[in-house]
Amino acid sequence: MIVYGSNIKEILFNLCCVGRPYIWKMKKMACVTGATSGFGKAIALMLAENNWDLCLCGRRAYDLKEVATLCEEKGARVWSKVVDVRVEEEVIHFVSDMRTHFSSIDVLVNNAGLAVGKDPIQNGLTEDWDRMMDTNVKGLLWMSREVSRWMIENKSGTIVNIGSIAGKQAYPGGSVYCASKFAVDAITQSMRFDLLQHNIRVGQVCPGAAETEFSKVRFKGDEGIAANVYQGYIPLSAIDVAEAVCFIISRPAHVSIHDITIMPTAQASATVLNKAQ
Ligand code: 8X3
């Protein structure tokens, strides 16, 4: 019988788990929210390639299953569940279920987020505002609270929030999306203070223009307007963002990266782009 582990504590734990196949802890485990597409999918696949086990959640069952299967094909142990992070009970149950499958958690990537609409304030729709604030702010808060309690018990962990250049610079038509990402920036900084004494690292990755489903969702399915956002320059890809996340979580235990702002070379600010004429 071979029992794996990188230190004596882990080897002993894994020894105790022999014959209890539903508790997994032989490799590091990361939880990624919004894992069905875009950044979340790229992060999950990159982690699987780098020998991580995964807990994944997202709203679309079919896409979630597909991402989970792709990660399993890369050798990861994956547990996934359909979760809408806008619903507090779903988040609470997700984390408590996760704890029955894994003995500890090493990383939380708060990726679930979206922009809906780009209307000026006077034309804004309450339902768009609710979707953005509930997903980008409250969902991230609930997930962080539940997971950080678990990390505190283990006295270690890393939380990476997906922020945005929109969380550093406001722009026209972005009042609520920008507000939600400014909130992510503030929450990231505050959580770092709260969790400092518990040896938990907190950082964020703030991308500029990245070609994913982001603009299709923002412009409510209008593919023409969405495609135009990325024309005339090379935008970031989801892989570029996943690499930044993987860089943060792969630093030695004594190194904490607080913030990576990552932009296309053709983008100097939230609104200034060097587009081909
Ligand atoms: C980044 C995208 O368009 O707000 O979140 O800069 S954008």
Q: Residue 256's domain is classified under what CATH number?
A: 3.40.50.720
Please check whether residue 254 lies inside any domain of the structure: yes
Query: What is the position in ligand 1's atom list of the atom closest to the CA of 164?
Result: 5
Residue 169 lies in a domain: yes
Please indicate, yes or no, if residue 200 is contained in any of the structural domains.
Answer: yes
* Residue-level pLDDT at 13: 55
Specify if 78 maps to a domain: yes
For residue 138, the CA-to-ligand 1 centroid distance in Å is: 19
Using CA positions, which residue lies closest to atom 3 of ligand 1?
Answer: 209
Question: What pLDDT is stored for residue 8 in this prediction?
Answer: 61
Q: Tell me if 184 CB under 6 Å of ligand 1.
A: no
pTM value is: 0.91
Ligand 1 pocket check for 164: Cβ under 6 Å: yes
- Closest-CA residue to 256 (of 208, 207, 200): 200
For helices 61-73 and 38-49, angle between their N-to-C axes, nearest 10 degrees: 20
62 catalytic residue (yes or no)? no
Rg of the chain, C-alpha, whole Å: 19
> Is residue 101 a part of any domain in this protein?
yes
Rounded to the nearest angstrom, the distance between the alpha carbon of 204 and the centre of ligand 1 is: 15
- Which atom of ligand 1 is least distant from the CA of 229? 3
For the beta sheet containing 107-110, the strands, ordered from the edge strand earlier in sequence to the opposite edge, are 78-82, 53-58, 29-32, 107-110, 157-162, 200-207, 259-262
Residue with tokens 């029955």: 100
Alpha carbons 80 and 98: distance in angstroms, whole number: 9
Residue 270 CB–ligand 1 contact under 6 Å: yes
Question: Which atom number of ligand 1 is nearest to the Cα of residue 177?
Answer: 4
Residue 182 makes CB contacts below 8 A (sequence gap 6+) with 167, 168, 170
Check if 208 has its Cβ closer than 6 Å to any atom of ligand 1: yes
- Kindly give the interhelix angle for 238-249 and 38-49, rounded to the nearest 10 degrees: 50
Going residue by residue through the chain, which has 277 residues, state the pLDDT in tens, using 9 for 90 and above: 444 444 565 556 556 555 554 444 468 999 999 999 999 999 999 999 999 999 999 999 999 999 999 999 999 999 999 999 999 999 999 999 999 999 999 999 999 999 999 999 999 999 999 999 999 999 999 999 999 999 999 999 999 999 999 999 999 999 999 999 999 999 999 999 999 999 999 999 999 999 999 999 999 999 999 999 999 999 999 999 999 999 999 999 999 999 999 999 999 999 999 999 7
Range of the structural domain that residue 66 is part of: 27-262
Total domains in the fold of the chain:
1
57 within a domain of the structure (yes/no): yes
pLDDT at 277: 76
Contacts from 192-199 at CB under 8 Å and sequence distance 24+?
Answer: 192/258, 194/148, 195/148, 195/151, 195/152, 195/159, 198/148, 198/151, 198/152, 198/155, 199/155, 199/156, 199/157
Structural domain includes residue 108:
yes
What is the 240 CA–ligand 1 centroid distance (Å)? 15
Does residue 273 fall inside a structural domain? no
Between CA 195 and CA 151 the distance in angstroms is: 9
